[in-house]
């Protein structure tokens, strides 16, 4: 359903604003876009298909981890997940930007994060609980900045979402997640008890998976072989590296 009564300019500005919402390191200055983010927000908010896709993905990830974890000792393996639009949803923040005609700003994002009002995506809590019951460790690797990490842990705690570590992007460091993926596997993160075999990754952006980028589109079908086996991607029509 398309939201009406907005000018083309507002729609263009909000498209970029939504893209910034989960990655506050992006420039705050809006850039014109042809995306109609109000339609994307309505789809995420109202479509049975969105709910089905998210639940389906978490169901597939659960079955894959159950199979891969057989015979492995507890505490020797892990799963890695992104936070925003993967474990927790910021739809209310996105929706309010459209409702009020406001553009994303670092200040508005910071205020939202500090409210700790993000909610779990369907199936996320059950997946995390199952990983924990099977003896796996849970690493949340997010590009929320380090200054937002305490609030991020707090919202996970508030929603009873299991995790062992949250690794945020350094405030003055790169957004590349690969070094943090490697830290999980090597067991070099604070509180780690040793190396871990990572059995699955879950994310909504191609960059939530080790070594991948939008360049995978030019690499042929074989490049996608891990999806549905070790990599599980959730739908996010609001923003991402595809922009």
> Using an 8 Å Cβ cutoff, are 198 and 187 in contact?
no
Please tell me what DSSP assigns to residue 87: T
Give the end-to-end CA distance of the chain in Å, rounded to a whole number.
Answer: 22
* Residue pLDDT, tens place only, 81-127: 999 999 999 999 999 988 888 888 889 999 999 999 999 999 999 99
List all residues 6 or more positions away from 121 whose beta carbon is below 8 Å from its beta carbon.
54, 58, 85, 86, 87, 88, 89, 234
Note whether residue 241 is domain-resident.
Answer: no
The reported pLDDT for the residue numbered 239 is 87
The reported pLDDT for the residue numbered 144 is 97
Domain at 207, CATH number: 3.40.50.1000
The reported pLDDT for the residue numbered 37 is 80
Stretches in the chain below the pLDDT threshold 70: 1-36
The reported pLDDT for the residue numbered 18 is 39
pTM check: above 0.75? yes
Crossing angle of helices 106-115 and 149-158, rounded to 10°: 40
Note whether residue 239 is domain-resident.
Answer: no
Q: Report the alpha-carbon distance of residue 61 to residue 69 in Å, rounded.
A: 12
Note whether residue 57 is domain-resident.
Answer: yes
Residue 93: domain span: 8-233
Note whether residue 144 is domain-resident.
Answer: yes
The reported pLDDT for the residue numbered 143 is 97
Note whether residue 65 is domain-resident.
Answer: yes
User: Tokens 């263009």 map to which residue?
Assistant: 12
The reported pLDDT for the residue numbered 177 is 98
What is the number of structural domains in the chain? Answer: 1
The reported pLDDT for the residue numbered 104 is 81
């Amino acid at each position: 359903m398309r939201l009406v009564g907005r000018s083309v300019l507002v729609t263009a500005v909000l498209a970029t604003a939504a893209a910034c919402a989960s990655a506050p390191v992006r420039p705050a200055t809006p850039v014109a876009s042809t995306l109609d983010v109000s339609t994307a927000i309505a789809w995420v908010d109202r479509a049975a298909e969105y709910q089905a896709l998210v639940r389906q993905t978490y169901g597939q990830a659960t079955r894959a981890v159950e199979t891969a974890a057989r015979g492995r000792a507890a505490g020797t393996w892990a799963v890695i997940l992104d936070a925003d639009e993967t474990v927790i949803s910021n739809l209310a923040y996105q929706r309010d930007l459209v409702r009020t005609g406001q553009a994303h700003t670092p200040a508005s994002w910071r205020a939202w994060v500090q409210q700790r009002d993000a909610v779990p995506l369907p199936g996320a809590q059950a997946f995390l609980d199952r990983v924990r019951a099977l003896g796996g460790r849970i690493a949340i690797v997010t590009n929320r900045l380090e200054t937002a990490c305490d609030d991020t842990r707090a919202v996970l705690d508030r929603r009873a979402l299991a995790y062992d570590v949250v690794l945020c992007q350094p405030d003055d460091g790169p957004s590349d997640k690969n070094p943090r993926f490697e830290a999980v596997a090597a067991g070099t993160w604070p509180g780690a008890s040793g190396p871990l075999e990572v059995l699955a990754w879950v994310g909504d952006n191609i960059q939530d998976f080790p070594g991948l980028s939008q360049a995978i589109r030019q690499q042929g079908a074989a490049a996608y072989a891990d999806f549905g086996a070790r990599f599980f991607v959730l739908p996010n029509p609001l923003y991402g590296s595809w922009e």
